[in-house]
Amino acid sequence: MAAGMTTGMAAGMTTGMAAGMTTGMAAGMATGMATGNAVKPVKATVKATRKATVKATRKANQSLLVPPAFRFPFVEFTAYLAVEKGASPKTVEAYSRDLRYYFTWLDSQGITSLENANRELITTYLLELYEKGVAPASIKRTVATFKSFYKFCVRESLVSHDPTSTLRLPRVPSRLPEVLSIEQMSMLLDQVFPSTPAGSRDKAMLEIFYGCGLRVSELIALDRSAVLVEEGYLRVTGKGNKQRVVPIGGAALRSLIEYLSSSREHLHAKRTSAPPDGIAVFLNTRGRRISRQGVFNIVEQYGRQVGLNGLHPHVLRHSFATHLLEGGADLRAIQEMLGHADISTTQLYTHVDRSHLREEYLTTHPRAALQ
């Protein structure tokens, strides 16, 4: 309201003294009150949700080894991640684990206040992780966790300064994605599947992994309403609850239609202590939404049957992207289909098959064959 009055008074005085002041004050008060009233419900809702999440987190974390001196900022931050940032449960779990280890280490060093944890101390902790053989990617995530945590603490006045502000994220060696050849993919998908509802489901899942490039979490979260058969698309919910539309066609669409039209109902009809799931696309043999571990086991099983031991779903996603790129697909289009926020993640696939690039060069460049 004060901001509105100030703006209104200034405008009114510029326009012309008493009448302008009256008009400006009224307009300013109205604008300030309207803005305040619009923002208040949103802030109140977020605050109430975060408060409820904090309460639930405290109850859930009673058995966790978080030293008492750090319990309050820990609970506040995890609630902030879940409610305000909309982070996925796995992200919240990973950040929470990083902080629990860090707080336990601080406590062992006799540190009982975040104010006393300076940059040198944090660097010492990270060096200890490195010496213990912790993977570079895990250390990088830990640094990201600390940066996010301390930024939050400064904002909430839990600490006076951010000791990680000048801390750089460590470089992590790029690992090229593991992919199958087109021949191996054909061997996997053309094998004989059981003539059962579960076999039909398994075929559809494998075809969608390779035909659409979905993550495991995205496949198990698919609902029937997200399958747009006539349009030839899947409406997919990815990381951070971001939605995207992924095209589906050919063998993947045929397998999915066959499963939904004749096999899913038999899995749905299974009677257990829990009611069957009428929303999920992919069900387990008890009629419930299939689990992440269930999907991993199925992919590993069918891979093993054709000599691809240790196969996991992400290899099929990598193969989807790599084969599209080899076929001439645009990198931006692949990025959109995969749901990558950053094009640099998608660019990893440009380095996967060096032999393919060399073969292309040798067969297409006019002077490549000259000795």
Cα separation, 360 vs 29, whole angstroms: 69
Best CA proximity match to 229, nearest among 201, 264, 260:
260
Q: What is the pLDDT of residue 363?
A: 64
Q: Are 318 and 349 in contact (CB under 8 A)?
A: yes
CATH number where 241 lies? 1.10.443.10
DSSP 328: T
Q: Examine residue 329 and state whether it is found in any structural domain, yes or no.
A: yes
192 token code pair: 């004989």
31 token code pair: 């604008």
Reported pTM: 0.59
Q: What is the pLDDT of residue 357?
A: 53
Catalytic positions are: 215, 239, 314, 317, 340, 349
Cα separation, 56 vs 69, whole angstroms: 19
How many structural domains are present in the chain?
Answer: 2
Q: Examine residue 243 and state whether it is found in any structural domain, yes or no.
A: yes
Residue that is last in its domain, among 53, 76, 91: 53
Cα dist. 141→70, 75, 81, 170, 258 in Å? 20, 19, 15, 9, 42
Q: Please provide residue 197's backbone torsions phi and psi, each rounded to the nearest 5 degrees.
A: -55, -40
Q: What is the pLDDT of residue 4?
A: 44
Q: Examine residue 90 and state whether it is found in any structural domain, yes or no.
A: no
Q: Please provide residue 236's backbone torsions phi and psi, each rounded to the nearest 5 degrees.
A: -110, 135
Structural domain that includes position 43: 1-53
Which is it for the CA torsion 19, 25, 30, 35, positive or negative? positive
Q: Angle at which helices 136-155 and 119-131 pack, to 10 degrees? A: 160
Per-residue pLDDT of the chain (371 residues; tens, 9 = 90+): 334 434 443 344 334 433 443 344 344 444 444 444 444 444 455 555 555 555 555 545 443 678 999 999 999 999 999 888 888 888 899 999 999 999 999 999 999 999 999 999 999 999 999 999 998 889 999 999 999 999 999 999 999 999 999 988 887 666 667 889 999 999 999 999 999 999 999 999 999 999 999 999 999 999 999 999 999 999 999 887 889 999 999 999 999 999 999 899 888 776 555 555 679 999 998 889 999 999 999 999 999 999 999 999 999 999 999 898 888 888 888 888 999 888 878 877 766 555 555 555 566 656 655 54
Name 280's bridge partners.
223
Q: What is the pLDDT of residue 89?
A: 86
Q: What is the pLDDT of residue 278?
A: 76
Q: Examine residue 370 and state whether it is found in any structural domain, yes or no.
A: no
Cα separation, 207 vs 6, whole angstroms: 63
Q: Examine residue 282 and state whether it is found in any structural domain, yes or no.
A: yes
Q: Examine residue 91 and state whether it is found in any structural domain, yes or no.
A: no
Domain co-membership, 192 together with 47:
no
Q: Examine residue 95 and state whether it is found in any structural domain, yes or no.
A: no
146 token code pair: 């600390």
Q: Examine residue 108 and state whether it is found in any structural domain, yes or no.
A: no
Domain co-membership, 186 together with 49:
no
Cα separation, 327 vs 324, whole angstroms: 5
> Residue type at 17?
M
